[in-house]
Structure 1
Amino acid sequence: MGGFQLLPFYEGVRELGLVHHLIEDERSGAFAADAYARMTGRPGTCDATLGPGATNLVTGLVESLNGGIPLVAVVGDAHRSYATRNMTQETQQIDILRPAVKEIVRVEDGTRIPELVRRAFAVATAGRPGPVVIVLPEDVSHGEFEFDEDDFRADETSCAIPARRTRPDADAVMRAADLLAAAERPLILAGGGVHLSRAYDPLLRLCERHGIPVAHTLSGKGAVPCVHPLSVGVFGRYSRIANDLILESDCLLVVGCKLGEIATKRYTLPLPSTPIIHLDVSAEEIGRWTRVDAGLWGDAGCGLADLEAALGAHPATSRDAYGVEVGARKALWASETRELSASDERPIVMPRLIAELRAAIPDDGVLVADGGFASHWAGLLYDATRSGRTFVADRGFASIGYGLPGSIGAQLAHPGGPVVGLTGDGGLTMTAGGLEVARRIDAPITLVVVNNAASGYVKALQHAVYGAGAYQSSDLVELDFGAVARAFGCHGARVDDPADLSAALAEAIAHPGPSVVDVAVTRDPAEMLPGLDSRAAQPIKAGDRPA
């Protein structure tokens, strides 16, 4: 969203014929750029004017910082001759933005713009990726500078991630190989770093050649196909069978995962006695809070390939019985959940909705899950049928409101396949202006609204912690978001009967422009979450410390 400070930037965009999309809110612009970067592996870009434009970016930038997503934001700033004189909309925005990004690049000399832009992209893509802000003071922005053609050269290694791959220490790799070779029940825990590294092939080879099951975080879904016999689903706060396997494992290989609160079920997983190999591009994440027996600092793809090669020096280990056991457990879990996935209950239950989404979205499609309880249901039940980013969730910050702008960004990155967003009624009301954006740019996205007339996650937690009826500031007015979509000129539908879900989703996905399918789901707070939240099971009291 433009302002006077960046008018020359917009004029340059117009003269050069670049594609620029006006977004209803800078936070949404950062979210859309974040989703674009997740899908393409190339830095997403966005811009904001000074003051409220810059400060509105913060939530989106932290999402990218915590998620390891490359992003470059151009931000206007006050004229340097008048700064600190209470210029219109002026604030200490650099101090506000600094903890939300990897680096701030301030342009003090206009002749250095090409150099500093290259610097921004290099930092955004190097090591663990993240967001970088280019700050452009008004007088520099409106200045005129002469450049040679060579000044505009691009460093190709900074145009996509991983920018430069690093390999773990060879001795550490051998220690890790010794641990894995000796294990009878090893398990791989795959995080979002597998996607950042594009480490799908070496991960699948290691998994298949050595019979090692793979569990994933919400961000790591698609590290291996969820339909693979050795894929055991999500682990952590909610789990199919993975948490039990973690507790029974005699060696864990953690790849591109920070082992944060959700992945560890509030730091109760894994057991302190379980040997851990941790492979991560961020050295500071290895052993952050738990003991690590072999720390591998480096790129996930390189580290997995080196580890697989090192295992070749060990005698082959048969884990056929382990694989059979895993398959039996998966089959039992599927049989126990099949009834809910086919339920005709009204209001509609979440397992039925997720099952219908899985049936409606083709293999080349993408599901974008907003923060909140909808993402946990999708993380638990939705199967990615191929390796790669077919499931996008804003787990860096888990901010509500990502669903609509994230779907727009994902669709711009993935025009060849359908993009479906899953958001809540609270999430859409935060960013409903994005429907105008989607219509204006004619983005063929389908937004599925989980409508429970509540801030569902909060209401469910209040129910779990304080009991039935103890709800405060978690109820919303019941809205028909199909009608809201039609008011914006988009296709809109409302579904109350589960029998109508399939046809409504098919019609929406086939529509050439933006669509909204509003789905009335359960209002019972006891049924809003996939299971008992670990925070409700172990509420933190004053003075408590994590185990």
Structure 2
Amino acid sequence: MGSPCGRTHSFSDLALSDNLLNNLFNSKSYSQFTIFYIPELSIFIKKKDLEFSLDTPSIFWNCYLKLNNLLNNLLNIKLFLGEIDMIGAQTLVKMLEKYHVEYIFGVPGDTSIKFYEALYDNQSGIRHVMARDERSASFMADAYARLSHKPGVCECPSGAGSLYTVPGIAEANASSIPVIVITSDIPLSGEGKQTITELDTQKLYESITKWATVVKSVNKIPEVIRRAFRIATTGRPGAVHLSLPKEALCDEFSNSAKDLYADENCCTYPAFRTRGARTDLEALVDHMAGAKRLVIIVGGGANHSQAGTSIQSMAEWMAAPVVSTISGQGIMPDDHPMALGVIGDNGFHPHAHRAVEEADVLLYVGCKMGSVSTINWSMPSEKPGRKILQIDLNPEMLGNNFQNTWSVAGDARLVAEDLVTLLKGKTAHRQASDWVNSLNQQRLDFWKQAQQAFQADTTPLKPQRIIAELNRHLDETTIVISDAGTPTPYITRFLKLAAKNSRFIIPRAYGGLGYAIPAVVGAHFARPDARLVGLFGDGSLGMSAGELETISRLNIPVVLIHFNNSSFGWIKALQKLHCNKKYFSVDFNANNPARVAEGFGLKALSIETPEQLVQGLDMAFNARGPVFLDVKSEPELEDIPPVYSWMTCQAKHDKA
């Protein structure tokens, strides 16, 4: 309605002082009202519904009455001076909203309908992303967390739904990725009575999460959510599981609305970063300053901590080569003169291995020194006088696999920042030594030798040729997501992440298949501006093909590249090397994955020649929607992949 002077105002036009609000709402402050959204109630209000006149003092009371009536009509809830009626499912949604959760990945089930209803009624912006499989939902949450630096949230129903999430939750936890998985569960009253889908989820998840619990009371939901986010994001980040029985989701929340708050520190990760002790840092600097051949080895922890800028500054100041594990790849642009490449068993660079073996001081940053990066703890080999230094957020990892000369517990980025400051105050800027120059010359020679495979016109296509053509399209907007199967050694060895902000994501904790296709979905919501690339083999496609429909439904602009060699190629290569070519249960029938992708609604091409590969990639990177490229690739039997232990074994066979 209009005022005598013809002015019409929305509720937001008022200067809502604390005094005015206290008078208006009987000493209950509502200072968080906004134009369209009332945080205390998780409701969006249309601006046109809140128009009123400013012509009389009674407008404030009239406005309150109109607002109250509107809320009652919209949601059939009562507003009693700041206290609202909510069931547990609504309380859960409200708390997730308080932690700025924007996306929840999941699959519906019988036990989850009240949670879904609460998400439907809540219009504050939490979007549910439906997956085709609970395992995929957990992989989506994992990738989302890796790229957004916010905890990923996934949900599943009881019973089999919980079981299906295990691979993804285990991977996230072991990779130090904060993922919160919410299970809607059977009623507490049905426990022990053979209720369908009954499962002890707490025991199921205890061994693969930092914390697993059952929320038995609706009034505990706010407290448990706060603890879940705190545990997931602090210390060594990891996964958390929450089981909410029917009572917790459906009973009425009777605590004060004041309990619905979040700890803003735990909305992102790492939360509460810790610096290294000053005395420890100074001792570390002394060891580094005395090095003649210092090499920095970075792992996944350095990437999670976003330590790249400081690592690069340290490398440039000390003229120290930087090598990475697979999870640490991309910490520095690959074309940087101090970035020598990948070490370990899988997809290694020989010049990176040489740097490690010839170094007199090795500084490990955010690296577990596990079996792959150390080739079953054979690298670095024993060398008189060599010093091993280690920085890790988790004190339990310090000196766990090698005898350290010195260790520092702390966040990789903060420790690296402090080291740069201390080094610049204590040491002179170093120039690249003859040794570093010789390593770079070996790197140049390596890439020259690789050109033959990059330009090979043979069919089926060599994996090296596929990746070389892919490299032409990579820029700062590109995020490459790979499965842990057959393509991995070629990707880690030949993929060039030269752009500063490009990223490479791969599940390395357990190496489970079926990651890349669903992970693309989570990556899209974390980085909607990015150009996504998914790489996978036959085994992975078979485990996650259903998510092609999800990608099509969401119209995610992704280039999916299938390395098709019609086998479980990794296992077949092992059978060649170690079982005298006794190939058993590793081959597939000939098939047409491109037709499958088309059936799900993607644009798809079958690629067999170099010319088709070039044209297909050009088309895919110019497309606005998802494109599936089924590339017939050379089996591992033709050319042993760049896996150090395999190449060593093959060399022994050749000599015999």
8 Å contact kept, 1:456–1:528: no
> Which whole-Å CA distance do the structure 2 matches of 1:86 and 1:389 have between them?
51
Cα deviation, residue 484, structure 1: 1.1
SS in 1 for 2:363: strand
Cα deviation, residue 383, structure 1: 1.4
Which of 255, 280, 285 is the matching residue for 1:172? 280
Which of 552, 573, 579 is the matching residue for 1:460? 573
> Which whole-Å CA distance do the structure 1 matches of 2:278 and 2:312 have between them?
21
Corresponding residue of 1:38: 146
Corresponding residue of 1:527: 639
Cα deviation, residue 313, structure 1: 4.4
Residue by residue over 1:168-208, the C-alpha shift from the partner in whole angstroms, topping out at 9 and shown as x without a partner, is 22222222211111111111111111121111211111011
**Corresponding position: 1:284 with 2:385:** no
**Corresponding position: 1:204 with 2:316:** no
**Corresponding position: 1:383 with 2:496:** yes
Distance change (3 Å), C-alpha of 1:376 and 1:150: farther
Corresponding residue of 1:323: 436
Which structure 2 residues correspond to residues 7-18 of structure 1 after superposition, within 5 A?
7-17=113-123, 18=126
Corresponding residue of 2:340: 232
Deviates more, 1:319-328 or 1:48-57: 319-328
Corresponding residue of 1:349: 462
**Corresponding position: 1:80 with 2:188:** yes
> Which whole-Å CA distance do the structure 2 matches of 1:522 and 1:532 have between them?
19
Corresponding residue of 1:358: 471
8 Å contact kept, 1:272–1:291: no
Residue by residue over 1:250-281, the C-alpha shift from the partner in whole angstroms, topping out at 9 and shown as x without a partner, is 01110011011110011111123331111000
Task: For 2:381, give the aligned amino acid.
Answer: L
> Which whole-Å CA distance do the structure 2 matches of 1:61 and 1:432 have between them?
20
> Which whole-Å CA distance do the structure 2 matches of 1:370 and 1:216 have between them?
19
**Corresponding position: 1:518 with 2:630:** yes
Which structure 2 residues correspond to residues 268-283 of structure 1 after superposition, within 5 A?
268-273=378-383, 274-283=386-395
Cα deviation, residue 321, structure 1: 2.3
Corresponding residue of 2:522: 409
> Which whole-Å CA distance do the structure 1 matches of 2:366 and 2:638 have between them?
34
Task: For 1:76, give the aligned amino acid.
Answer: S
Deviates more, 1:170-179 or 1:282-291: 170-179
> Which whole-Å CA distance do the structure 1 matches of 2:357 and 2:590 have between them?
42
Cα deviation, residue 72, structure 1: 0.7
Deviates more, 1:287-296 or 1:168-177: 168-177
Corresponding residue of 1:163: 271
**Corresponding position: 1:5 with 2:111:** yes
Task: For 2:609, give the aligned amino acid.
Answer: D
Runs of 4+ in 1 over 6 A off after TM superposition: none
Residue by residue over 1:385-421, the C-alpha shift from the partner in whole angstroms, topping out at 9 and shown as x without a partner, is 2345611111122111101001111112111121010
Q: How many pairs are equivalent?
A: 537
Cα deviation, residue 536, structure 1: 7.3
8 Å contact kept, 1:114–1:152: yes
- Give the % identical residues: 30
Which of 51, 56, 66 is the matching residue for 2:159? 51
Corresponding residue of 2:326: 218
Distance change (3 Å), C-alpha of 1:521 and 1:528: farther
8 Å contact kept, 1:73–1:132: yes
Cα deviation, residue 326, structure 1: 2.3
**Corresponding position: 1:96 with 2:209:** no
Which structure 2 residues correspond to residues 335-346 of structure 1 after superposition, within 5 A?
335-346=448-459
**Structure 1: 5+ residue stretches without partners:** 539-547
8 Å contact kept, 2:348–2:644: no
Cα deviation, residue 147, structure 1: 5.1
8 Å contact kept, 2:476–2:500: no
SS in 2 for 1:336: helix
Distance change (3 Å), C-alpha of 1:536 and 1:249: closer
Name the structure, 1 or 2, with higher relative contact order (CA <8 Å, separation 6+): 1
Corresponding residue of 2:355: 245
8 Å contact kept, 2:456–2:462: yes
Bigger radius of gyration among the two: 2
> Which whole-Å CA distance do the structure 1 matches of 2:382 and 2:644 have between them?
23
Root-mean-square deviation over aligned CA pairs: 1.7
> Which whole-Å CA distance do the structure 1 matches of 2:113 and 2:640 have between them?
47
8 Å contact kept, 1:200–1:387: no
SS in 2 for 1:39: helix
8 Å contact kept, 1:272–1:290: no
SS in 2 for 1:525: coil
SS in 1 for 2:252: coil
**Corresponding position: 1:257 with 2:342:** no
> Which whole-Å CA distance do the structure 2 matches of 1:66 and 1:445 have between them?
27
TM-score under structure 2 length normalisation: 0.79
> Which whole-Å CA distance do the structure 2 matches of 1:218 and 1:194 have between them?
12
> Which whole-Å CA distance do the structure 1 matches of 2:157 and 2:146 have between them?
25
Cα deviation, residue 4, structure 1: 2.6
8 Å contact kept, 1:63–1:397: yes
Deviates more, 1:210-219 or 1:306-315: 306-315
Cα deviation, residue 449, structure 1: 0.2
8 Å contact kept, 2:398–2:407: yes
**Corresponding position: 1:489 with 2:489:** no
TM-score under structure 1 length normalisation: 0.95
Cα deviation, residue 94, structure 1: 1.6
Task: For 2:164, give the aligned amino acid.
Answer: N
Residue by residue over 1:294-328, the C-alpha shift from the partner in whole angstroms, topping out at 9 and shown as x without a partner, is 11101001111222223234342544323322221
> Which whole-Å CA distance do the structure 1 matches of 2:197 and 2:396 have between them?
38
SS in 2 for 1:184: coil
SS in 1 for 2:625: coil
Distance change (3 Å), C-alpha of 1:76 and 1:528: farther
SS in 1 for 2:296: strand
> Which whole-Å CA distance do the structure 2 matches of 1:486 and 1:276 have between them?
53
Distance change (3 Å), C-alpha of 1:66 and 1:536: farther
Corresponding residue of 1:542: none
Residue by residue over 1:510-535, the C-alpha shift from the partner in whole angstroms, topping out at 9 and shown as x without a partner, is 32222210000002524252244359
Cα deviation, residue 148, structure 1: 4.3
**Corresponding position: 1:266 with 2:372:** no
> Which whole-Å CA distance do the structure 2 matches of 1:260 and 1:524 have between them?
25
Cα deviation, residue 51, structure 1: 0.8
